[in-house]
């Protein structure tokens, strides 16, 4: 019997495990479907390139065919280990725009404005630059300047300035707009995942149990109250755990709605289709799926100043291995997306709607397709897409991946925003700073010049930049799944705390905001706001129940 069971040891789950188990009177269990985070590719920053290929550490999801993208199935990598996606991402530390959070509050979600969220960002952070109005020190999550800045990344920042874009060195300060170098969640040249920051330092607490390779199969209920979790062990044997106070789902925008559906919570028709008994009808479970769609403009590098797959790069690589082992510096500390920024596709906009990530190599198909030689790639994504998709079940078996339908570009404005983004990429890459470096444009390619050709290029080449959100949205409208305390509407003893609760996608990388969602949920739980409140709630007192661990 545990007080709280957390399902998912990712960006938010590790935060919850840390904060809740700080109360020695509370017994906490943390379940993770993946293995321990012992692989060296997790901790060496450049190892993220290999994490894309891992079957043990990556869910490797595929979307449904996308009608607006030539019916392509898109690859959706998601972390499957302690730390979740924070153990496999590019470590970029951004929070989004202040207006993103103010908008959540305007939707009726009390406590979620930027002014109210900023103290949580500061509390969880250790900013190596020191404290300021926007940054904190002493928190678990280490935020650092890059120890490696490639020559091409520095050229890109100069070129952006020459192209007329403002330059900046803090995208989380007073003003988001600008181009520069990202800060990263690293410490001493190693990845600082949520597991390293929040979980490992407190792993030995006697009131905390961490179970890996545990695939949650359903939430257990007595009436309308969550009383435990069932999971499958590595041999596929079912095991049940009891929760005296609460179950918190922190599996992310894919796994949390999937588990709700498997547990009988969601649209009635979807559950009936798979023969799952209805526990509580919530039509919004799995709806409101949003993601940042991304497209790349890539060039050959005439000066070989980038990171290349070529024999001539081998001496630099060998040198960097020694440098990393001795000093924690060099190429192996690179997050590959060292520079980037936030700009407006139209100067009349009130906030940036485009984000750049400059990679100092030729990146194609998430790095799964290798290009020999040297080159550089400029990513651009639409920060606030209007297209909305959904997540459903393929079957009632928790081992089957869910059906993922993002419906990319289903809103026509999204294509036009990306078209504007490609043009801004070309503008920067044509700036004088790149003279002497600029080789052949690999894609879109010299033949793609008109708007129609560029739209076709986007349809053929656009991919996710790994920020799915919104599938268990927070709010009080008919499609809302959780309230502003992250309690599931109509049920007691059950919360969701991860990127799935975002009503609208934030304008930036989602890892830091997801950790702060974990902080926000822990704050609410520890304040004692565990009993149900809000629309359609049916309070129920917990009753004793015997749970047996499978032999």
Share of the chain above pLDDT 90, in %: 91
Q: For residue 198, give the DSSP letter.
A: I
- Give the per-residue pLDDT at 540: 36
Per-residue pLDDT at 530: 54
Q: How many whole angstroms from its chain centre is CA 41?
A: 19
Quote the pLDDT of residue 549. 36
User: In sequence order, what are the beta bridge partners of 281?
Assistant: 266
Q: Is the pLDDT of residue 543 over 80?
A: no
3 state SS of 424: helix
pLDDT value at residue 385? 98
SS3 state of residue 126 = strand
Tens digit of each residue's pLDDT (9 = 90 or more) over 284-328: 999 999 999 999 999 999 999 999 988 889 988 898 898 999 989
Q: Where does the pLDDT of residue 14 fall: very low under 50, low under 70, confident under 90, or very high at 90 and above? A: very high
Residue 324's CB is within 10 A of a number of other CB atoms, namely 21
Q: What is the mean pLDDT of residues 8-26?
A: 98
What average pLDDT is seen over the chain?
Answer: 94
Kindly give the pairing relationship between strand 238-249 and strand 463-464. Answer: unpaired
Say what the pLDDT of residue 333 is. 96
The CATH architecture one would assign to domain 1-63+78-112+190-290+468-551 is 3-Layer(bba) Sandwich (3.50)
SS3 455: helix
Instruction: Report pLDDT for 528.
Output: 83
Confidence band for 529, pLDDT divided at 50, 70 and 90: low
Q: Measured between alpha carbons, how far is 307 from 154 in angstroms, rounded to an integer?
A: 14
What gap in Å lies between CA 304 and CA 419, rounded to an integer? 29
Q: What is the pLDDT of residues 76-119, one digit of tens each?
A: 999 999 999 999 999 999 999 999 999 999 999 999 999 999 99
Global pTM value:
0.94
Residues 467, 476, 489, 536: which is the catalytic one? 467
On whether the CB atoms of residues 500 and 471 are closer than 8 A, the answer is yes
User: Mean of the pLDDT values across residues 173-199?
Assistant: 98
pLDDT at 49: 86
Cα 187 vs. chain centroid, distance in angstroms?
20
Least Cα distance to 332 among 20, 43, 1 occurs for 43
DSSP string, 317-363: HHHHHHHHHHHS-SGGG--S--EEEEE-SSTTSSS--EEEEEESS--
Domain parsing of the chain, residue ranges: 1-63+78-112+190-290+468-551
Does the structure show a pLDDT above 50 at 456?
Answer: yes
Question: What are the tokens at 120?
Answer: 């949580």
Residues 6+ apart with CB under 8 A from 223: 538, 540
Annotated active-site residue 467? The verdict is yes
Average pLDDT over residues 369-397: 97
């Amino acid at each position: 019997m545990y007080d709280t069971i957390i399902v998912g040891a990712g960006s938010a789950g590790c935060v919850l495990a840390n904060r809740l188990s700080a109360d020695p009177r509370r017994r906490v269990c943390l379940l993770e479907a993946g293995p321990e985070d012992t692989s060296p590719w997790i901790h060496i920053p450049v190892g993220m390139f290999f994490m894309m290929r891992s079957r043990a550490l990556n869910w490797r999801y595929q979307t449904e065919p996308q009608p607006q993208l030539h019916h392509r199935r898109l690859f959706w990598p998601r972390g499957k280990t302690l730390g979740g996606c924070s153990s496999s991402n590019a470590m970029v530390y951004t929070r989004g725009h202040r207006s993103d959070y103010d908008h959540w509050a305007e939707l009726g979600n009390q406590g979620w404005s930027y002014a109210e969220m900023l103290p949580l960002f500061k509390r969880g952070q250790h900013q190596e630059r020191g404290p300021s109005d926007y940054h904190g020190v002493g928190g678990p999550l280490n935020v650092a300047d890059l120890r490696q800045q490639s020559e091409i990344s520095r050229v890109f920042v100069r070129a952006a300035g020459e192209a007329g874009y403002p330059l900046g060195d803090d995208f989380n300060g007073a003003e988001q707009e600008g181009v520069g170098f990202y800060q990263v969640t690293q410490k001493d040249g190693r990845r600082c995942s949520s597991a390293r920051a929040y979980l490992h330092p407190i792993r030995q607490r006697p009131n905390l149990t961490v179970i890996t390779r545990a695939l949650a199969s359903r939430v257990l209920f007595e009436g309308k109250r969550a009383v435990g979790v069932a999971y499958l062990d590595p041999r596929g044997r079912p095991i049940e755990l009891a929760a005296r106070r609460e179950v918190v789902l922190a599996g992310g925008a894919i796994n949390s709605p999937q588990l709700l559906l498997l547990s009988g919570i969601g649209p009635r028709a979807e559950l009936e289709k798979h023969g799952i008994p209805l526990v509580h009808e919530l039509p919004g479970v799995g709806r409101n799926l949003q993601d940042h769609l991304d497209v790349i403009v890539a060039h050959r590098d005439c000066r070989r100043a980038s990171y290349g797959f070529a024999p001539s790069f081998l001496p630099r690589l060998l040198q960097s291995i020694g440098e990393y082992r001795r000093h924690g510096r060099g190429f192996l500390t690179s997050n590959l997306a060292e520079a980037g920024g936030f700009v407006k596709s139209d100067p009349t906009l009130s906030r940036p709607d485009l984000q750049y990530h400059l990679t100092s190599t030729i990146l194609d198909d998430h790095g799964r397709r290798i290009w020999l030689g040297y080159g550089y790639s400029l990513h651009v994504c639409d920060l606030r897409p209007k297209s909305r998709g959904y997540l459903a079940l393929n079957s009632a078996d928790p081992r089957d991946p869910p059906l993922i339908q993002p419906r990319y570009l289903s809103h026509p404005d999204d294509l036009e925003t990306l078209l504007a983004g490609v043009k801004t990429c070309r503008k920067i890459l044509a700036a004088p700073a790149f003279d002497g470096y600029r080789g052949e444009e690999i894609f879109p390619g010299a033949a793609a010049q008109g708007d129609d050709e560029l739209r076709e290029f986007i349809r053929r080449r656009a991919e996710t930049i790994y920020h799915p959100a919104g599938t268990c949205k927070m709010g009080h409208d008919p499609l809302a799944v959780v309230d502003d305390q992250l309690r599931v509407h109509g049920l007691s003893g059950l919360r969701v705390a991860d990127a799935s609760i975002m009503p609208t996608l934030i304008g930036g990388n989602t890892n830091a905001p997801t950790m702060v969602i974990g902080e926000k949920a822990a704050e609410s739980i520890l304040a004692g706001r565990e009993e149900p409140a809000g629309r359609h709630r049916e309070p129920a007192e917990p009753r004793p129940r015997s749970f047996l661990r499978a032999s």
